[in-house]
Amino acid sequence: MPSPLRRVVTGLNQDGLAVVTSDELLLPEAIPSMDGALAGTVWVTAGLPTNDNNIEEVRTADGIVTPGGTNCRFTDLAPGARTPMHKTDSVDYNILIQGQVIHITEDGVEKLLTNPGDTVIQRGTMHAWKNPGEEWARWVSVIIDAIPVSAKPQ
């Protein structure tokens, strides 16, 4: 199992000075119906533009996409595990930080990501993930609500 993900959050104190408001370890939870896949929420915003006036974060997300907002989450995938083909109405920045993972599109094309920092920009299309390695893979995703994709670009 991968180690917990550390989240450090900053804000302002009553004197207007930048301070660390929290420093905690986040543990992933099992993703229903995806054997060998875990995920955890790092940060969720309720709208765009977000209100950055030192308010408390929205700590829960109803699913992957936050309507009108963003969701920063991490996903861990066990060796040999594969997610089902799926899509969301969002633009997702998926950044590999540990292990290796294969991104699979609906047409069967597979792209192997092996270097920390390798990024897939997922734009509302069907896809799956597969871990071909012998260790857990982890990637961080920033998921931004989007107008559903159309087969014919506007």
Query: Is position 62 within any domain?
Result: yes
Burial class (CB in 10 A: 0-12, 13-18, 19+), 94: buried
- Taking 90 as the threshold, does the pLDDT of residue 149 lie above it? no
> C-alpha angle with apex 140: 10 to 55, nearest 5 degrees?
30
Query: Is position 4 within any domain?
Result: no
Query: Is position 93 within any domain?
Result: yes
More confident of the two residues 115 and 48? 115
Cβ–Cβ under 8 Å, residues 124 and 90: yes
Query: Is position 45 within any domain?
Result: yes
Query: Is position 123 within any domain?
Result: yes
Average pLDDT, the chain: 89
Query: Is position 11 within any domain?
Result: no
Domain of 85, in residue numbers: 28-145
- pLDDT, tens digit, for every residue of 12-42? 888 989 999 889 999 999 998 889 999 999 9
pLDDT value of residue 85: 94
3-state DSSP assignment of residue 39: strand
pLDDT value of residue 153: 59
- pLDDT, tens digit, for every residue of 60-109? 566 788 888 888 999 999 999 999 999 999 999 999 999 999 999 999 99
CATH of the domain at 108: 2.60.120.10
What's the count of helices (H) and strands (E) in the chain, helices before strands?
0, 11
Tell me how many domains the chain contains: 1
Distances (CA, A) of 89 to 63, 112, 126, 145: 12, 24, 10, 6
Task: Work out the average pLDDT over 105-117.
Answer: 96
Type of residue found at 143: I
Query: Is position 3 within any domain?
Result: no
Type of residue found at 154: Q
d(CA 127, CA 110): 10
d(CA 148, CA 88): 8
Query: Is position 128 within any domain?
Result: yes
Q: Which residues share a beta bridge with 39?
A: 29, 75
